[in-house]
A and B are shown apart, each in its own frame.
Chain A
Amino acid sequence: MSTSRIRWAFVTLSIALFIAAVLELSFGPMMIPMARIPSDIWSLLHGGSGTDEVVLGSIRLPRLLVAALVGAGLASTGAVLQAIFRNPMADPAIIGVSSGGSLGAVLTIQFGLSQLSQWYTPLGAFATGLIVVFVIYRLATFRGRTSIYSLLLSGVAISSFCSSVVTLVLSLAPLDMMQQMLFWLMGGLDGTTWSEFFILAVFVSAGLIIYLLQAHALDVISIGEEQAEGVGVSLQYTKQITLTTSAFVVGACVSSTGVIGFVGLVVPHLLRLWIGPSHRNLIVASAIGGALLLLLSDLVARMALLPVELNVGIVTSCLGAPFFLYLLRRQETTMHRG
């Protein structure tokens, strides 16, 4: 893949992300003209408290930043897991952290913990997500080696177990709790706070650094585990560190916004077609692309049926699936032609 093509991709993605961010700040039930945004942010930083400043400072800015971070975290994790599993269908849900997180969240709501403090549900989701990943990892590890096939299969088994427990809890829960649970399960960005942003910022940026340090190992692993071992990759170490990091990053994302599907699957896949398979580029591009996709989806989620707000998870899937299929189709036709 030529360097200029990759550079263009990064420039395009960054400009698109910037535009999406401005739109996200500007659009909403209360429109803020784009031209006013720079001065509003300036005055917000200097303690201004007009309507614009309040809307931006306590609603749209944290929402924008959380959406961008969650998108970046999910998509870059997707890129990493697709390499580890050598499977383009791998996405963050594959390691069980999403279904584990859902189970944890639903249980905290069921047992009334969510009413004691707003932190119990995200914490519960985070903790169970990690526990489930660990269980799956242990099940797939034999004689000090983790088999990708067992990981995949035990991931599917444990995930469907978690899902059925979630369904069971849902069916037994009183109506108001059930609503709360469903809302959480659908994944949404409403009511995001600055503290969520700070937590996510730590997890996602630390995750990205670790992913990038493993980028070259992932390159070799993506063409075969034995090839990787042949050139000196410590396979087991790379698996451990990337799976652990994925669990923490996705756990942080899931616990602040609920399960948002498709971003981690579709973004790295599309970008691989665009900029090639090298993970150094792919991870960064996926982070930008994931942020972009989630911002755009959130924009649609908030504006499509005003004043009703959709859950962003529904929008990512509704937008992502057809687009993904279209591109796959196009890729197939060009491959058969060339």
Chain B
Amino acid sequence: MSVGERCALLELQNVSYHGILHDVNLAWSHGQFVGLIGPNGAGKSTLLRILAGIWRPTTGSVYLNGKALSDMSARRRAKEIAYLPQHMPEDVAFTVEQYVEMGRYAYRTPWGHLEPESKEAVTNALNTLNLLDYRNAHLQRLSGGERQRAGIARCIAQGSPIILLDEPISSLDLYYQVDILRRLQRLSHQGYLIVTAIHNLELAARYCTRLVLLHHGRIYAHSSPNDVLTERALLDVFQVSAKTYADPYDGFLRVSYPS
């Protein structure tokens, strides 16, 4: 996979958006697995849409390898950044393969033809997510977890080194929460830059390499999970007076909530 070699550097400079985000500065490079955390309405989804180039910041800019995102066409952007929204419609009659093929939209010829390399990318993506057996299954027949996997396969088929996900595990059972996060972690090891909004703090601390804690549209903290998820931060941002401690088995951060 050539993804690791395509050095991706995603940067936000002084980004504000209609009173939802205020003066956000961030920079990540390839191979990182970033978790966006914060209460509902803190601006996580807005930040992701701005990172994806779907919404333009009212002030400030997003740069990809030094180039402003706003100067790129939608297709050009999609080849660099894949974005998976939170809601996956459930009544879709497309098959898994047809859906993953949509990830190649930006590569289609003007008359809509798919080149052989696109077909290969689709097969690879299905293979990476263990979906080859499901390729002809209809999306509406899949479980939520499988559908989310199809969504990630669509992002991989896109061939973009950056993948942004909006709460990919929030409606899944425990098996698929772990399954999806481990797959994303593996992708980041392969060189992808993964940025995901996530509500489960312990899982975020377990799998993400960096966390961004958003509070009222501002960055409260941006660092490694242990440095971000302090008791003070949980109190300030989530208004929960919880204790944090290291898991005796694996040393990852745990949160002990008040009784």
Contact = CB atoms under 8 A, between A and B. Distances in A.
Contacts of A234: 73-75
Interface residues of A, number: 23
Given A213-B110, A232-B79, A276 B54 contact: no
A231 B154 contact: yes
A276 B93 contact: yes
A230 interface: yes
A155 B155 CA distance: 35
B93 A277 contact: yes
A278 interface: yes
A82 B106 CA distance: 23
Contacts of B98: 219, 278
A239 B162 CA distance: 27
Contacts of A277: 92-94
B71 to A, nearest CB: 14
Interface in A224-280: 224, 226-227, 229-234, 272, 276-278, 280
Contacts of B154: 231
Nearest to A224: B89
Interface in A190-220: 212-213, 215-217, 219-220
B85 A227 contact: yes
B106 A226 contact: no
Interface string A89-131: 0000000000000000000000000000000000000000000
B123 to A, nearest CB: 18
A226 B76 CA distance: 17
Interface string B81-121: 01111011100111100110011011010111000000000
B106 A223 contact: no
A230 B84 contact: yes
Interface string A273-298: 00011101000000000000000000
Q: Which of A215, A217, A223, A233 has the most CB of B within 10 A?
A: A223
Contacts of B75: 232, 234
Interface in B19-66: 49, 52, 54
A231 B92 contact: no
Nearest to A237: B74
B94 A219 contact: yes
Interface residues of B, number: 34
A231 B103 contact: yes
Contacts of A223: 89, 92, 94, 99, 102
Contacts of A219: 94, 98, 102
B78 interface: yes
Contacts of A278: 94, 98
Nearest to B114: A216
Contacts of B196: none
B185 interface: no
Contact of B106 (A212, A224, A232, A276): A232
B253 to A, nearest CB: 31
B93 to A, nearest CB: 4
Contact of A232 (B89, B92, B105): B105
Contacts of B87: 224, 226
B222 interface: no
Contact of B77 (A224, A227, A232, A280): A232
Nearest to B76: A232
10 contacts: A213-B110, A216-B102, A217-B105, A223-B102, A227-B85, A231-B105, A231-B106, A232-B75, A232-B106, A278-B98
Q: Which 7 A-B residue pairings sit nearest by Cβ, starting from the closest?
A: A232-B78, A226-B85, A230-B83, A232-B106, A232-B75, A231-B105, A234-B74
